[in-house]
């Protein structure tokens, strides 16, 4: 992802918004122009080990020349673990799946202003803010916008950001190559809902231990799970041995041995028929630790033992979700709402963000609620009835059907 020094503000100079000296050139065919590459660090795919984790932590906490790229790449490597990735995603979804609304000073939802915020851009801001709990921080670049509307956001790699110094680096390994992202708050959207190191610092090494168990289990399977084929021969010539080896290779991938007939080879099976449980139990234990690290408990994602225990674990999860919700709302109302105003979003002073829980009520329950409303003297909108009950109403002449109960239909607008 490359950015050009020439940042064009177009006809929006009257807004007097200070912009960073970078331009999104992701769709620019002129690849030969001189660019400032803030993203010239590529994800290394070699497998990390405990030593890499320890070294990355030391470099991250360096007082003289801190770098974040090593630890962030280690975090990315840990997300190869499917269980960890799903745990993180589930925790984020409990916040990002809520409906974004704008409320006025007295707490009433402003429907028109809330409708403007039902966009992928706003959902991305919320998701990246929640990701900061695990990675330590997130940063988004407002690459394209018009007054009252952010059109395009670009995610900036976390390895190029040094939170303690407020820097966005051109070279992720060199602190002296950056700009102060704090000078451009309206275009470089920084989020940090918790500790700047992130929860993955404690969780990432668990995935390494889990991979070790998978590898050991695989080796155990190869040694004891696949039979050994033995070919004995009295003809001791190189050509004959080569022919035997060729035949054995083409018979499958199982281990084999070519021995003189005078050699006596004994293959003893393992007496520990359940040795695989050593690796499997370690894998399960690691999954439990990951679940505790992400969600504070295990029983909402792993099998529980009793209803009372599950209810206790669910309460713990609800407490964590409530904390995530409040942290996200603080970020939206303390920082994002003012940035949106600066970008000409119509959000009056005193208005604030809220995240509303989505509810899916069964049709039968809706009918009971609607009946109560009707008995209370309320009318139901035609479109609501058609959408909710999947029916088509004759709005022009609703009382033509023979034997129709006119009083029952009197609630339609």
The predicted pLDDT at position 264 comes to 52
Residues in the chain predicted with pLDDT less than 70, given as ranges, are: 1-16, 23-47, 214-233, 235, 240-241, 243-244, 246-276, 299-313, 359-363, 365-366, 369, 373, 383, 387, 395-413
CB 80 within 8 A of CB 207: yes
Angstrom distance (rounded) from CA 252 to CA 274: 26
Cα torsion 396, 402, 403, 408 to 10°: value is -10
Give the residue among 375, 374, 409, 377 at the shortest CA–CA distance from 394.
Answer: 409
The predicted pLDDT at position 277 comes to 76
Distance of CA 70 to the CA centre of its chain: 20
CB 142 within 8 A of CB 12: no
Give the count of beta carbons closer than 10 Å to the beta carbon of residue 93: 12
Q: What is the pLDDT of residues 230-247, one digit of tens each?
A: 666 676 777 766 766 765
The predicted pLDDT at position 336 comes to 96
The predicted pLDDT at position 330 comes to 97
The predicted pLDDT at position 409 comes to 42
- Which pair of structure tokens corresponds to residue 395? 């709005």
The predicted pLDDT at position 14 comes to 42
């Amino acid at each position: 992802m490359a950015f050009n020094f020439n940042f064009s503000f177009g006809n929006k100079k009257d807004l007097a918004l200070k912009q960073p000296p970078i331009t999104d050139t992701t769709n620019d065919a002129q690849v030969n122009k001189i660019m400032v590459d803030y993203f010239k660090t590529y994800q290394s795919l070699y497998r990390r080990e405990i030593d890499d984790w320890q070294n990355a932590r030391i470099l991250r906490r360096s007082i003289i020349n801190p770098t974040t790229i090593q630890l962030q790449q280690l975090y990315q490597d840990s997300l190869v673990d499917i269980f960890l990735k799903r745990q993180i995603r589930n925790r984020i979804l409990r916040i990002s799946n809520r409906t974004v609304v704008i409320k006025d000073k007295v707490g009433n939802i402003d429907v028109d202003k809330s409708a403007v915020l039902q966009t992928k851009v706003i959902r991305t801001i919320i998701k990246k803010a929640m990701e900061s709990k695990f990675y330590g921080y997130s940063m988004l670049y407002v690459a394209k916008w018009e007054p009252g509307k952010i059109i395009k956001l670009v995610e900036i790699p976390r390895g190029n950001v040094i939170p303690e110094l407020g820097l966005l680096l051109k070279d992720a390994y060199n602190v002296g190559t950056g700009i102060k992202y704090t000078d451009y708050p309206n275009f470089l959207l920084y989020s940090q809902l918790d500790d700047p190191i992130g929860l993955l610092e404690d969780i990432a090494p668990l995935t390494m231990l889990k991979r070790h168990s998978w590898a050991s289990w695989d080796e155990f399977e190869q040694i004891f799970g696949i039979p050994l084929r033995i070919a004995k021969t009295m003809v001791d010539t190189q050509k004959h041995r080569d022919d035997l080896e060729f035949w054995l290779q083409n018979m499958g991938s199982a281990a084999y041995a070519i021995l003189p007939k005078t050699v006596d080879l004994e293959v003893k099976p393992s007496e520990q028929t359940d040795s695989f449980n050593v690796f499997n139990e370690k894998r399960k234990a690691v999954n439990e630790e990951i679940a505790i690290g992400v969600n504070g408990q295990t029983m909402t994602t792993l099998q529980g033992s009793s209803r009372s225990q599950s209810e206790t674990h669910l309460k713990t999860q609800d407490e964590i979700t409530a904390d995530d919700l409040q942290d996200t709302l603080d970020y939206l109302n303390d920082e994002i709402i003012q940035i949106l105003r600066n970008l000409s979003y119509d959000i009056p002073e005193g208005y604030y963000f809220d995240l509303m829980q989505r509810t899916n009520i069964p049709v039968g329950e809706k009918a009971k609620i609607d009946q109560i409303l009707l008995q209370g003297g309320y009318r139901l909108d035609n479109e609501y009835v058609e959408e909710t009950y999947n029916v088509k109403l004759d709005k022009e002449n609703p009382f033509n059907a023979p034997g129709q109960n006119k009083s029952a239909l009197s609630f339609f607008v």
